[in-house]
Amino acid sequence: MPGQTVSMKEPVCLIENDSDGKLHVVRSALDILDQIDQHVVVVSVVGLYRTGKSYLMNKLAGKSKGFALGATIQSKTKGIWMWCVPHPLKPDHTLVLLDTEGLGDVEKGDTKNDNWIFTLAVLLSSTLVYNSMGTIDNHALEKLHYVTELTEHIKVKSNQQNEEESSEYLRFFPSFVWTVRDFTLTLEIDGNPITENEYLENALKLRTGSSKVVQQYNLPRSCLRNYFSPRWCFVFDRPANAEKMKRMEELTDDDLDPSFVKQAKKFTDHIFTEAKTKSLKNGLKVTGRLLGNLAETYVSAIRSGNIPCLDNAVVALAQIENSSAIQRARAHYQKEMANWVVYPTDTQEDLSEIHSSVEKEAVAIFINSSFKDEDRRYQLELMKVLQEEYDKICERNSKESRKACESKIECIFAPIEEKIKDGSYMTPGGYKEYCYDQKLSASEYRSEGGRGIKAEEVLKEYLEKKASIGHTILSADNSLSEAEQRAEAEQAKRLAAERETQAREEMVAVQERLIKDQQKTYEENINQLMEKMEKDSKHAIEEHDRVLEARLKEQSDLLQQGFHDKSREMQSEIDNLKRMKTQEEENKPSFMRTALDTIGTAATMFLPGIIPKVGGMALNFISRFF
């Protein structure tokens, strides 16, 4: 089922400072994100104030206006502003643009707030755009000191003791794009032309030596190299003359320098093509709703004076999202069953087929939203909740069937009731007439539609109540001999026994179908769980490979630049990454088997119909993936 999204006409503030100067998340912005079930590509732009950050974001939104541009020395953007638009190349994704307050605003003069704004941009985005003016030189890199302080503002693990390996941050941090505005240099080194990306990598080269000056020179470069991969660079000419620049919001592309327009298109095309879906640890893809919860979690930690912890955030989000996923799945099930079920259904099979189809959709809603449900507690809760809902529907179907049958019997057997009342059957030959009328009415009743699953049971109960009347009529019929009366009495017993058998068979058929429904419920949950676990495993391995590839490239670069000691230090980190990948692949079958055993064992408490087949099914399902 395609996810739901929103298309905003203009940006809104997502995070701002309250009257006490503390950051808080704006409720109305969270309400917008809460409507987005689609996965999100989140692009944040950061940089010093008055460097033209907002213009780039408006271009990504496909608009000339939206994020405030301003034409004075004052910073227009305060806090973090958000603009959600449909992704131009990915129909099932929403593009979330985050424009941040300009760093180093002299009017505000709050470096602590700047650090948190930068940190939140890193934590929330899948691609981070750093915007600066002029050139990428040592002065520009010194202004990017926020990168060097990231590990002081972010923890990966709650039990972190020492400094964590940079690969741990690399798993969470976004890709990095450096946009250089008003660039006037020629892209070449020693007379040889270079690309923009080569320009950036050359600027990030380290210096050998151990002096304080060298360490200060290398620090921001090392942080960018270690924490952000992949990295790109785009340079821009000046967009227009100074007079036009004062009216940027009024200008069209025709009013701007053609080379700048071409460069801006190259940048936006790159973002649309290369910016990835926002994800958390092990490749968990983030929806708009999840992004809003993530923002609240991080800002809450900052407000309380704590350092945001990535692992803790994932755990907290899992509890929120998994509970919410159960409720959304339940609401979908209730709504769709109410739309499709017409009471009473002719057979239990009719009801079961609708239930099976809607349940599959409900499980998919949960599976696609849930994560880190390691003990399967939430999925078991979902199974229990949907079974309870189905039980209610089955009970109502049974009651509606009984009501319909009783109404039909009352109508069809009314003439017999009238004859009983006026004594028409209390005459010679009356018993045979009574039996004939009863048989005719029962046949008419059975030919009627809309009786549902209680048809034979209700008929049996009605005729049982009339047995004594039939006996009275039989006893009063003096046209029958004693032998004939005994024969008729035996025939009445046989017919009653047949009706009892029919009613019992009717009930058994319903119960057998309900047991099949439980088995199908289990199979559907297992099928979708296995597919999700396989998909999650694939995403985790892709993330692992991305980090490993980045570390290997960095090691190669260090060797080429003569940093043999640093290269050897990095080898242990690389070996650890390889070992972790091997362990994860080796443990996958047993992890899946444990998950299946957990669900199978626990589900028997409310799905007794699956008891005989749990063990065999678990092995069968696992064998399909290995």
> In the prediction, which pLDDT does 162 show?
56
pLDDT digits (tens, 9 = 90+) for 441-500: 999 999 999 999 999 999 999 999 999 999 999 999 999 999 999 999 999 999 999 999
Residues near 23 by beta carbon (within 8 Å), at least 6 away in sequence: 15, 16, 17, 79, 113, 116, 120, 299, 302, 303
517 sits in which H/E element: helix 482-560
284 DSSP 8-state letter: P
Q: Is residue 484 part of a domain?
A: no
CA distances from 33 to 94, 149, 172, 501 (A): 10, 29, 21, 59
Specify if 580 maps to a domain.
no
Q: Which pLDDT score is estimated for 614?
A: 44
Name which residue leads in pLDDT, 69 or 346.
346
Total domains, the chain: 1
Q: Which helix (H) or strand (E) holds 28?
A: helix 27-34
In angstroms, rounded to a whole number, what is the distance separating the alpha carbons of residues 70 and 82? 17
Whether 465 is in a domain gets the answer: no
Name residues whose C-beta falls within 8 Å of residue 523's C-beta, 6 or more positions apart in sequence: 617
Q: What is the pTM of this model?
A: 0.83
CATH number of the domain that residue 126 is part of: 3.40.50.300
Q: Which of 154, 182, 181, 178 shows the shortest CA–CA distance to 168? A: 154
CA dihedral 146, 152, 157, 162 (to 10 degrees): 130
Instruction: Provide the CA 577 distance to its chain's centre, in angstroms.
Output: 28
Count CB neighbours of 432 within 10 A.
17
Quick one: tokens of 260? 């700048």
Q: What is the domain range of residue 134?
A: 12-150+177-201+229-292
Instruction: Evaluate whether residue 236 is within a structural domain.
Output: yes
Which range has the top average pLDDT, 227-231, 373-377, 413-417, 553-557?
413-417
Please indicate, yes or no, if residue 38 is contained in any of the structural domains: yes
Helix 27-34 × helix 288-303 angle, to 10°: 150
Would 71 be classed as within a structural domain? yes
- The per-residue pLDDT for 572 is 85
Q: Report if residue 58 sits inside a domain.
A: yes
Amino acid 542: pLDDT: 85
Q: Per-residue pLDDT for 604 more than 90?
A: no
- At 119-160, the pLDDT tens digits run 999 999 999 999 988 999 888 898 888 888 888 888 887 766
pLDDT over 70 (residue 70): no
pLDDT band at 249 (very low <50, low <70, confident <90, very high): low
- Closest-CA residue to 480 (of 556, 546, 428, 550): 428
Least confident of 166-175, 292-301, 418-427, 432-441: 166-175
Tokens coding 397: 């179907």
pLDDT at 254: 80
pLDDT at residue number 310: 84
Q: What is the 3-state secondary structure (H, E, C) of 302-336?
A: HHCCCCCEHHHHHHHHHHHHHHHHHHHHHHHHHHH
| Residue 209 in this model has a pLDDT that exceeds 70 | yes
Question: Which are the contacts of 173, defined by CB distance < 8 A and separation ≥ 6?
Answer: 122, 128, 227, 228
Residue 565 belongs to a domain: no
Alpha-carbon separation of residue 392 from 126, 399, 521 (angstroms): 44, 11, 16
- What are the pLDDT digits (tens) for 3-50? 688 889 889 999 998 888 889 999 999 999 999 989 999 999 998 766
Kind plus residue range of the DSSP H or E element containing 128: strand 127-133
Q: Residue 104: pLDDT band by 50, 70, 90 thresholds?
A: low
Residue identified by tokens 């995070």 is 15
Cα(350)–Cα(370) distance, integer angstroms? 30
